[in-house]
């Protein structure tokens, strides 16, 4: 019955456990930063609609009306001839209505480059969503791994404290029996106090790592509820190919490339100021109470179709300065791309070296742990024969626990390096089967 209950407990914990892939998926689905980036993308998509409107005709309708009083010589003569005392004054209701349709024919390709410019903004915003998700994924992975790493450090610190407590009690017994040395007891007591301090520090670090993770994903995140990840397959088996993949696929690189296209479009758009503008205008109008002359027709209407050519001769060198500013922006974006490539190369190299060197280190650390464990067994036998002291046993136990700590650090360093390589190559979301809905 007991075995059945234990089995049920284990199965239940596995069912409720949060895998690292699921943690990343939930974080990206709920993280406000991703929603901010998505809204930025939607905003730029609407701006594109506005940019394309310049291809369409502009239609303006106007109507105005109001009382008007005129005082003309012609009306005064008429009033004098007729014996009227109006003195040439005439009150009318003035009305005016017009319709204008304007279609731009040419403006130096300004509209084309404006649309092209906005498309690159959308591309950059779209990649920005992925870049943000990429960064959040690595942050989630790092905090997830920190919980597991710090829990193991915490467990080792607890074991180390218990070992010191055990040997301190045994040394105390020898002193009480009159066969021990007080110096050995005081030394062990000092070590025990240090072990307790290390234990509480490890406890604090572990709890802090849980709190940090819950800032990213507000769920229960004790180490017992997480699953230790395993290292999978890298996108390539050598550093050169990994760097090439990173330079091609990393979202930050793609954003820099989109920014270069934006700067190019801005520069091309600035050249439009050097060209004339040609518009086709169609006008229709109607006026009532136009002349203010008594006895003459006051209504007028008409229509025309015009080609309107305008060309700026001088604009205070504003066009020239704008062009030069855009040229410098293009140079700046090219430099930013070079810097982004250097970043990817450097940090991919660091992660790759950590990934490989820790693998070699773990071989020697495991040998160290095995040798320390064997030495503990030998020391205990020698202690029973009176050839080792309790302090000797404590020393080798401490060496054993230090080796365990080094193993934990190396294992999780290598695991984190694996995910860093996936991040730098732009493959972390794909590897975790995480998709982003825009």
Render pLDDT for 282-336 as a digit per residue (tens, 0 to 9). 999 888 765 555 555 567 788 999 999 999 898 888 889 999 999 999 999 999 9
247 plus 373 within the same structural domain:
yes
pLDDT, residue 434, reads 92
Q: Where are the beta strands (DSSP E) in 269-417?
A: 277-288, 300-310
* Per-residue confidence band for 5, with pLDDT thresholds at 50, 70 and 90: very low
Overall number of domains in the chain: 2
Q: Are 265 and 56 in contact (CB under 8 A)?
A: no
* 157 domain residue, yes or no: no
Residue pLDDT, tens place only, 91-122: 677 788 999 999 999 988 888 999 999 999 99
For position 426, what pLDDT does the model report?
95
d(CA 286, CA 96): 6
- 232 and 266 in one domain? yes
CATH code of residue 257: 1.20.1600.10
What is the rounded CA–CA span in Å between residue 418 and residue 430? 14
Question: Are 228 and 377 members of one domain?
Answer: yes
**What's the rounded Cα separation, in Å, for the pair 294 and 91?**
10
**Looking at 108-112, 132-136, 402-406, 409-413, which range is the least confident one?**
108-112
342-373 residue pLDDT tens: 999 999 999 999 999 999 999 999 999 999 99
> Do 224 and 350 fall into the same domain?
yes
Residues 351 and 394 in one domain: yes
Examine residue 364 and state whether it is found in any structural domain, yes or no. yes
Strand ranges of the sheet holding 58-71, from the earlier edge strand across to the other edge: 58-71, 89-106, 277-288, 300-310
Question: Residue 175: which pLDDT band, with cuts at 50, 70 and 90?
Answer: confident
Closest CA relative to residue 242, chosen from 141, 128, 354, 336: 354
Helix axes 318-384, 390-424, angle to 10 degrees: 150
Domain that holds residue 270: 15-56+108-149+211-275+315-431
pLDDT at residue 6 greater than cutoff 50: no
Local structure of 387: helix, strand or coil:
coil
pLDDT of 58 above 50: yes
Listed residues 253, 287, 310: the one ending a domain: 310
Verify that 359 and 409 share a domain, yes or no: yes
pLDDT > 90: percent of the chain: 66
Residues 245 and 333 in one domain: yes
Last residue of a domain, one of 310, 331, 364: 310
The CA distance from 409 to 100, in Å, is: 75
- Residue at a domain's end among 292, 310, 328: 310
51, 29 Cβ separation under 8 angstroms:
no
Q: Are 58 and 69 within 8 A, CB to CB?
A: no
Are 100 and 215 in the same domain?
A: no
pLDDT (0 to 100) of residue 425: 97
Nearest to 419 by CA among 74, 72, 141: 141
How confident is the prediction for the chain on average, in pLDDT?
Answer: 88
**Res. 134: pLDDT tops 90:** yes
Distance CA 153, CA 138 (A): 22
Of 263, 282, 281, the C-alpha closest to 324 is 263
Same-domain status, 237 and 101: no
Average pLDDT of span 178-189: 82
């Amino acid at each position: 019955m007991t075995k059945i209950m234990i089995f049920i407990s284990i199965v239940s914990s596995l069912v409720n456990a949060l895998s690292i892939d699921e943690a990343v998926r939930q974080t990206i689905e709920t993280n406000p930063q991703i929603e901010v980036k998505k809204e930025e993308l939607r905003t730029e998509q609407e701006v594109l609609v506005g940019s394309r409107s310049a291809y369409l005709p502009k239609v303006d309708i106007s109507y105005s009306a109001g009382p008007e009083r005129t005082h003309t010589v012609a009306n005064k003569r008429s009033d004098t001839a007729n014996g009227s005392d109006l003195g040439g004054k005439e009150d009318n209701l003035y009305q005016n209505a017009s319709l204008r349709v304007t279609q731009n024919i040419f403006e130096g390709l300004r509209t084309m480059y404006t649309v092209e410019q906005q498309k690159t903004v959308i591309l950059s915003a779209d990649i920005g969503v992925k870049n943000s998700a990429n960064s959040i994924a690595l942050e989630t992975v790092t905090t997830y791994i920190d919980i597991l790493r710090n829990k193991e450090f915490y467990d080792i610190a607890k074991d180390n404290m218990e070992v010191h407590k055990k040997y301190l009690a045994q040394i105390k017994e020898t002193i009480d029996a009159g066969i021990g040395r007080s110096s050995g007891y005081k030394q062990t007591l000092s070590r025990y106090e240090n072990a307790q301090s290390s234990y509480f520090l490890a406890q604090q670090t572990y709890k802090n790592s849980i709190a940090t993770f819950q800032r990213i994903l507000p769920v229960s995140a004790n180490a017992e509820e997480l699953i230790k990840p395993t290292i999978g397959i890298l996108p390539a088996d050598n550093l050169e190919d990994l760097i090439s993949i990173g330079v091609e696929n990393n979202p930050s690189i793609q954003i820099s490339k989109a920014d270069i296209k934006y700067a190019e479009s801005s520069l091309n758009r600035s050249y439009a100021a050097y060209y004339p503008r040609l518009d086709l205008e169609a006008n229709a109008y109607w006026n009532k109470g136009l002349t203010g002359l008594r006895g003459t027709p006051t209504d007028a209407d008409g229509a025309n179709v015009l080609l309107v050519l305008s060309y700026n001769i001088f604009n205070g060198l504003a066009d020239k300065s704008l062009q030069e500013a855009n040229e410098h922006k293009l140079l700046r974006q090219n430099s930013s791309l070079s810097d982004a490539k250097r970043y990817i190369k450097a940090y991919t190299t660091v992660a790759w070296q950590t990934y490989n060197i820790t693998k070699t280190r773990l071989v020697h650390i495991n040998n160290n742990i095995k040798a320390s464990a064997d030495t503990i067994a030998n020391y205990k036998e020698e202690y029973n024969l009176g050839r080792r002291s309790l302090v000797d046993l404590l020393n080798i136990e401490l060496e054993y626990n230090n080796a365990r700590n080094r193993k934990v650090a190396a294992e999780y360093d290598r695991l984190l390096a694996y995910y860093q390589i996936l991040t730098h190559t732009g493959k972390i979301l794909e590897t975790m089967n995480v998709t982003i809905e825009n």
